[in-house]
Chains A and B, each alone.
Chain A
Amino acid sequence: MTEHLPALQVVVPLIAAPLTVLLRRPLAAWALSVAVCAFSLYTAIRLALQVLAQGPLSYDMGGWAPPWGIEYRIDMANAAVLVLVSLIGTVVAVYARRSVNAEIGHDRRHLFYTAYLLCFTGLLGMAATGDAFNLFVFLEISSLSTYALISIGYDRRALTASYQYLIMGTVGATFLLIGIGFLYVMTGTLNMQDLAQRLPAVMDTRTVKVAFAFIVVGLSLKLALFPLHLWLPNAYAFAPSSVSAFVAATSTKVAIYVLLRFLLTIFGFQFSFEHMPIGNILLVLSVAAMLSASVVAIFQQNVKRLLAYSSVAQVGYITLGISLGTSAGVAAGYLHLLNHALIKGALFLAVGCLFYRINSARLSDLRGAGRSMPWTAAAFVIGGLSLIGMPLTSGFISKWKLVEAALAIGWWPIAVLILATSLLAVIYVWRVVETLYFQSAEEGTAAVSEAPLGLLIPAWGLALANIYFGVDATVTWGLAHGAARALMGGVP
């Protein structure tokens, strides 16, 4: 069975998704989802250990040898993404039972798990595949199921948010498809390794350059790079809590991985960074994202929207690391990709706990919740400190490595900027903390009690992961470092 792990990673959740429709009973669908996600996590860890021990794995889907068949290729760059997606997927799946019962109508609950598993499949597939067209297919699977997930709850505003995302997401996916089509025209192959070998010969053609532009813009829409992030705040804010947590922690991260894969493996460092001005473009947009989205986050009245804008800013940190164009920069960006998933996962799960009891994520409704829900609020504070980048949290390690990478090439203003925008994070996180702890609930509102353990344990699990990877970052840094080496090849 071991040699089929790359296929099982994707196929098992794909098969489980329609089964949840047949099961119909929400509890059974939930149990199946948790089991499938846990199995995926096991698979992903096994794969990662195998890659660490033996180097990249290649798997021929259906026995068809690449470049004709679809190849699944696991190396250091995507092994960690698989672990990340399946870890978050498992934690959120456990969390979902209580949360879904509260936020989604009874007749749709089993469908939530169907869409959830499809989205999960899509993201794992995007990460695992070594075939450019197959990647597009999985991108569509994950996107379509995300649109459904966002709009599945009671909140009717989610419908327009989802529609907005649908339009933007489809434009993005189409752009990606156009780009891949151009590459196929020029090279006659869709296999990523094969593309990487054949592209240098046709590098100077306008078609390849246009393909590059289409792919970068299309992916930037999916990863919510400023100014293509407009779909994100509403989608995160109005989706059910479990969906916000899962999508915020995984979907943009996988898109960033795909961007890295295209820039560095398929087009190659030389083309992307030396022939094309991708470094400068990413640098400017990242800085704009970090500054503008952080400032906008400060003025939000809804905690989920606040966190959503913060996500746009944090994506800016990740792409900033990439824009440095050095191995250290890519590694730092990749590290923040992993850490930010843990941070936002913990924060959205904590907000979900608040939502479960208070039925709102507006700051004005959360007054004094720190006293009535101390454990939930404490988990939020830990996640918030990690977002700011306080020492002993994983966010600190990210900032440390990013600044280190910027200083290594003498980019002083960027180093200063990274730290200065952390201070903006202090402001928006502390607005929430003050509301939770220092303001009193209005007279007449019903007293709330602490969130149930079924929600608290997953939220605290991710919060503690933030602390663990902030104290001993050798594992996450090792993964990020390995990923950067796999992506960058010999570039320093």
Chain B
Amino acid sequence: MTTPELLNAALATPLAGAVLIALTGRWPNLREAVTLVAAAVLLVLVAQVLPVVLAGGRPEVTWVRMLPGITLGLRVEPLGMLFSGVASLLWIVNSIYSIGYMRGNAEQHQTRFYVCFAIAIFSSVGLAWSANLATLFIFYEVLTLSTYPLVTHKGDAEALRGGRTYLGILMGTSIGLFLLAILWTWQAAGTLDFRPGGILTGHVQGMAVGALLMLYMYGIGKAALMPMHRWLPAAMVAPTPVSALLHAVAVVKAGVFTVVKVIVYVFGLDLLRSAPSADVLVYVAGITIVFASFVALRQDNLKRRLAYSTVSQLSYVVMSAALFTPAAIAGAALHIVAHAFGKITLFFAAGSVYTAAHKSNVSELDGVGRNMPWTMGAFAIGSLSMIGVPLTAGFVSKWYILSGALDVHQLFAIGVVFLSTVLNAGYFLPIVYRAFFRPADGAGHGEAPLPIVLAVCATALLTVLMFFAPGLPLALAQALVGGGGS
């Protein structure tokens, strides 16, 4: 297979999967087999693109000319490779988990669930590989729309309310601000292609750079920069596998991925470093980190606490990217991966507890760890990664973020990282403590179904593995800022 065919095939896989899932909806076993096969095929295909990108190649494919000067197509660069790799790897794990969870909780409309999930993965991979802002925007919106039925899965009043907030904020920011920023870019630069070094140099100057940057940052609502973060807690009405993959990995990562992509390939680091107003972003992101952590501290609902933790962790990526140095950009890219592994573990564990013990509040978790050692063990690993303790993935990315901040003597950023680490410990460790060291109340219950436990352990393992073998993501992150292509 030639590379353009490979890209097309990879992207077509989840889409074909969605169609087949819809057709096989009547036979649950077959349907779920289709999901797993599609996920496996996607991972194999994505893995074949990897060596090309690592060798410095930028495989591309052009589909169609939408308007004069605006084409739709793909072009894979290291950051997109990283994001697509994470999304496709975790889709397999998540599918295994979903099977256990959806059956364990006897959820309705399972076919629709798997179909929308496949479409969401399709748009995530498409977004990761987009060759220009127009293509990226399209996948961005498809991702919003395909996840809306997942958020409102339950169909009750609460789900509907959550869905409104979800759609309202994500569509409002993307149409009202993001699209405006893209059109401004198009007006100024005459192109929308992602190019190393950016496309805006010489076209936008002075304060306008900062204004356009903030238009992008708030417009990319999926990155959940405060005050555009409210959709994320609202989306927690969704079933846990949705929260896990989409609101810890695909959707929010699509947001911060776009942030990094815009900073590196649309503005270019040199332009931003010299612009007078661009460093505002560090403060906005820093405040989001600290503020969201404080809110997380006060949440009793486990999933909501995780949601606010996600808001806070996403802004790590934004703040790190906003330092505009190569080391910090690499840190941002690594944090996308590290947080993905850690947070999906935490969500998996939360869903596991819900399935086995029907508990969803932190205050009810006394002694759960004794009944569910695997689940809560994985939860502990995920928590440590969030805090950034060595031996977990979170340490690797925080290391790069801190060294990036030190490079430019950004004391505010360093302070934020330290304060937030303390806060992270403050809202994660009590959960672990309760689960293992407080006596259990009420009747005992066992572990969650096997597929769930397998998935939780797999992602926890990935979290640890990334500390010991960060070679691959590191190579891609460094290729993004230093090596081939830029």
Which A positions have Cβ atoms within 8 angstroms of B?
385, 388-392, 397, 399-401, 403-404, 407-408, 415-416, 419-420, 422-423, 426, 430, 434, 438, 471-474, 477
Contact of A477 with B145 in the complex, beta carbons under 8 Å: no
Residue in chain A with minimal CB distance to B179:
A419
A-B pairs, 10 with minimum CB distance: A391-B138, A407-B187, A403-B183, A391-B141, A419-B176, A473-B67, A422-B175, A472-B64, A423-B172, A426-B171
- Which residues between 364 and 395 of chain B lie within 8 Å of chain A, taking CB atoms? none
Interface string of B156-171 (1 = CB under 8 A from A): 0000100010011001
A390-B141, A407-B184 given; A474·B67 CB < 8 A: yes
Q: Which of A392, A401, A403, A430 contacts B138 (CB 8 A)?
A: A392
The residues of B that contact A389 with a CB separation of less than 8 Å are 175
Contact of B138 with A423 in the complex, beta carbons under 8 Å: no
Contact of A397 with B175 in the complex, beta carbons under 8 Å: no
Interface check B51, CB cutoff 8 A: no
Q: Which of A391, A420, A426, A473 contacts B137 (CB 8 A)?
A: A391
A397-B66, A408-B187 given; A392·B180 CB < 8 A: no
Tell me the complex Cα distance, A415–B134, Å.
18
Distance to closest chain B CB from A438 (angstroms):
6
Can you sample 11 A-B contacts with CB below 8 Å? A391-B134, A391-B138, A391-B141, A397-B66, A407-B187, A415-B183, A419-B176, A430-B167, A473-B67, A474-B66, A477-B67
Residue from the set B141, B164, B176, B179 with the largest chain A CB neighbour count within 10 Å: B179
Contact of A423 with B175 in the complex, beta carbons under 8 Å: yes
Tell me the complex Cα distance, A41–B167, Å.
40
Residue from the set B66, B152, B168 with the largest chain A CB neighbour count within 10 Å: B66
The residues of B that contact A408 with a CB separation of less than 8 Å are 187
Tell me the complex Cα distance, A426–B184, Å.
23
Contact of B152 with A473 in the complex, beta carbons under 8 Å: no
A404-B186, A438-B160, A477-B68 given; A416·B171 CB < 8 A: no
Contact of B155 with A438 in the complex, beta carbons under 8 Å: yes
The residues of A that contact B184 with a CB separation of less than 8 Å are 407
Tell me the complex Cα distance, A419–B178, Å.
10
Distance to closest chain B CB from A439 (angstroms):
9
Residue in chain A with minimal CB distance to B138:
A391
Q: Which of A391, A392, A404 contacts B183 (CB 8 A)?
A: A404
A404-B187, A434-B160 given; A472·B65 CB < 8 A: yes
Residue in chain B with minimal CB distance to A408:
B187
The residues of B that contact A404 with a CB separation of less than 8 Å are 183, 186-187
The residues of A that contact B175 with a CB separation of less than 8 Å are 388-389, 419, 422-423, 426
Interface check B142, CB cutoff 8 A: yes
Contact of A400 with B67 in the complex, beta carbons under 8 Å: yes
- Which residues between 185 and 231 of chain B lie within 8 Å of chain A, taking CB atoms? 186-187
Question: Could you list 8 further interchain pairs (A-B, Cβ under 8 angstroms) beyond the known A426-B171, A430-B164?
Answer: A397-B66, A400-B183, A404-B187, A407-B184, A415-B180, A438-B155, A473-B67, A477-B67
The residues of A that contact B186 with a CB separation of less than 8 Å are 404
The residues of B that contact A471 with a CB separation of less than 8 Å are 64, 66, 72
The residues of A that contact B172 with a CB separation of less than 8 Å are 423, 426
Tell me the complex Cα distance, A397–B176, Å.
15
Contact of B67 with A397 in the complex, beta carbons under 8 Å: yes
Residue in chain A with minimal CB distance to B176:
A419
The residues of A that contact B68 with a CB separation of less than 8 Å are 474, 477
Residue in chain A with minimal CB distance to B171:
A426
A422-B175, A438-B155 given; A416·B180 CB < 8 A: yes
Residue from the set B137, B142, B160, B175 with the largest chain A CB neighbour count within 10 Å: B175
The residues of B that contact A420 with a CB separation of less than 8 Å are 176
Tell me the complex Cα distance, A415–B175, Å.
12
Task: Summarize B's interface: helix, strand, loop or mixed.
Answer: helix
Interface size class of B (residues with CB under 8 A): 20 to 34
Distance to closest chain B CB from A490 (angstroms):
21
Distance to closest chain A CB from B161 (angstroms):
11
Tell me the complex Cα distance, A395–B145, Å.
16
Residue in chain A with minimal CB distance to B63:
A471
Distance to closest chain A CB from B150 (angstroms):
13
Task: Summarize A's interface: helix, strand, loop or mixed.
Answer: helix
The residues of A that contact B164 with a CB separation of less than 8 Å are 430
Distance to closest chain B CB from A374 (angstroms):
11
Tell me the complex Cα distance, A285–B180, Å.
23
Tell me the complex Cα distance, A397–B69, Å.
13
Distance to closest chain A CB from B164 (angstroms):
8
Residue in chain A with minimal CB distance to B159:
A438
The residues of A that contact B138 with a CB separation of less than 8 Å are 391-392
Residue in chain A with minimal CB distance to B172:
A423
Tell me the complex Cα distance, A408–B187, Å.
7
Tell me the complex Cα distance, A472–B134, Å.
13
Tell me the complex Cα distance, A403–B176, Å.
12
Tell me the complex Cα distance, A272–B210, Å.
40
Distance to closest chain A CB from B130 (angstroms):
12
Tell me the complex Cα distance, A392–B183, Å.
16
Tell me the complex Cα distance, A216–B167, Å.
41
Tell me the complex Cα distance, A416–B66, Å.
23
The residues of A that contact B187 with a CB separation of less than 8 Å are 404, 407-408
Distance to closest chain B CB from A179 (angstroms):
37
Contact of B160 with A472 in the complex, beta carbons under 8 Å: no
Tell me the complex Cα distance, A401–B183, Å.
9
Residue in chain B with minimal CB distance to A420:
B176
Contact of A438 with B152 in the complex, beta carbons under 8 Å: yes
The residues of B that contact A434 with a CB separation of less than 8 Å are 160
Tell me the complex Cα distance, A473–B138, Å.
15
The residues of B that contact A426 with a CB separation of less than 8 Å are 167-168, 171-172, 175
Tell me the complex Cα distance, A357–B484, Å.
61
The residues of A that contact B183 with a CB separation of less than 8 Å are 400, 403-404, 407, 415
Tell me the complex Cα distance, A430–B142, Å.
16
Tell me the complex Cα distance, A385–B175, Å.
12
Tell me the complex Cα distance, A388–B168, Å.
13
Distance to closest chain B CB from A311 (angstroms):
20
Tell me the complex Cα distance, A477–B51, Å.
40
Q: Which of B66, B72, B134, B176 contacts A423 (CB 8 A)?
A: B176
The residues of B that contact A407 with a CB separation of less than 8 Å are 183-184, 187
Tell me the complex Cα distance, A390–B148, Å.
15
A400-B183, A426-B171, A438-B160 given; A472·B176 CB < 8 A: no
Contact of B66 with A473 in the complex, beta carbons under 8 Å: yes
Tell me the complex Cα distance, A438–B66, Å.
34
Tell me the complex Cα distance, A193–B51, Å.
66
Tell me the complex Cα distance, A36–B179, Å.
43
The residues of A that contact B179 with a CB separation of less than 8 Å are 399, 403, 419
Tell me the complex Cα distance, A477–B68, Å.
9
Tell me the complex Cα distance, A438–B187, Å.
41
Distance to closest chain A CB from B208 (angstroms):
12
Distance to closest chain B CB from A415 (angstroms):
7
Tell me the complex Cα distance, A236–B308, Å.
48
The residues of B that contact A392 with a CB separation of less than 8 Å are 138, 142
Interface string of B65-78 (1 = CB under 8 A from A): 11110001000000
Distance to closest chain A CB from B248 (angstroms):
25
The residues of A that contact B152 with a CB separation of less than 8 Å are 438
Distance to closest chain B CB from A401 (angstroms):
8
Tell me the complex Cα distance, A197–B468, Å.
82
The residues of A that contact B141 with a CB separation of less than 8 Å are 390-391
Distance to closest chain A CB from B183 (angstroms):
5
Tell me the complex Cα distance, A399–B142, Å.
18
The residues of B that contact A403 with a CB separation of less than 8 Å are 179-180, 183
Distance to closest chain B CB from A367 (angstroms):
13
Interface string of B467-482 (1 = CB under 8 A from A): 0000000000000000
Distance to closest chain B CB from A389 (angstroms):
7
Distance to closest chain A CB from B242 (angstroms):
17
Tell me the complex Cα distance, A423–B167, Å.
11
Distance to closest chain A CB from B114 (angstroms):
17
The residues of A that contact B145 with a CB separation of less than 8 Å are 385, 390
Residue in chain A with minimal CB distance to B187:
A407
